[in-house]
Structure 1
Amino acid sequence: MPNQKQGSEQLQTLMQSGQISGSFSFNGTLSKEDEEMSRSALSTFKAKEEEIEKRKMEVKERVQAQLGRVEEETRRLAIIREELETLADPMKKDVQTVRKRIDVVNKELKPLGQICQKKEKEYKEALEAFNEKHKEKVELISRLMELVGESEKMRLKKLEELSKSIETIQ
């Protein structure tokens, strides 16, 4: 019994420090009075040890109860965290999918935009060239009309001269 051994050692310590007085007889044994005081001190000490042990057990039980509640709360929080993650997961995956698709479309748009700009530039240059050629054509048609008009005038004039010359011959 370790508690009894500890009690004996503590009793001896108390006696040596003078907290428990006792008179030893010459043969080294305790007198009845001293023996009674020793028993009383020992029983008081045992009672206090038992009270301390009882309180220790109560504290231990309360700690165990608290640990049980903490473990239960930890489990509940883990379940809540998992539920939150599953709630956020589908939206997160959808958002990531849409973002990736946007990135792909952006990569496809860049060269198409460059092609559009190049084609637009070519179109403007072609339109400008077309307009210049059309303007040149209009000018040439106008010049042609002038030339045809002058030619007709000259031919009519020549015809009139020839006509006059024929009349003079007759």
Structure 2
Amino acid sequence: MRQPNIARAAAVLAGSAVAVIVGSGAQANATTVEFPQVPTLATGGLCWTNVRTWVETNQQWPGRAIFNVRALPVSGVGPGAYPFAPLCEVYTTVAWHNMTTGATGAYNNIVVTGIYGSIQYSLFQDTGPGRVEVTVTTNNVSIPARGWFDVPA
């Protein structure tokens, strides 16, 4: 026997509310820190963009952080059949230094961007617990960004 539409809607809403309540508890200890954007030239034409970077930490990943990089939509002119919709790239480095433990490292990536921006590039880094300073640079003319975040033990 089929449930009436109102009963099915109530069941779906109740299930969604439970999912939101259960799902929100898992993110309670998560922290996201975004750094200033890096305006930069890119290769593949006469291109420029801004690179966004941010980190995510969580009590569930002690001594680790997820580093994220994403370019905003590119502007400029490139070669090919669609010169005003160029596809350009920029080598991006997120260098980090743990001020508490002395550990250092870097997340290096070639970020490919177009008129809609780039995909999100992400990677876990074993920073160790403590205060971590970050410098974001590219291999082209750019204005580097600096920031810091805390990693739980």
Q: TM-score, normalised by structure 1?
A: 0.21
Give 1 or 2: higher strand fraction.
Answer: 2
Larger radius of gyration: 1
If asked which structure has higher relative contact order (CA below 8 Å, sep 6+), I would say 2
Give 1 or 2: higher helix fraction.
Answer: 1
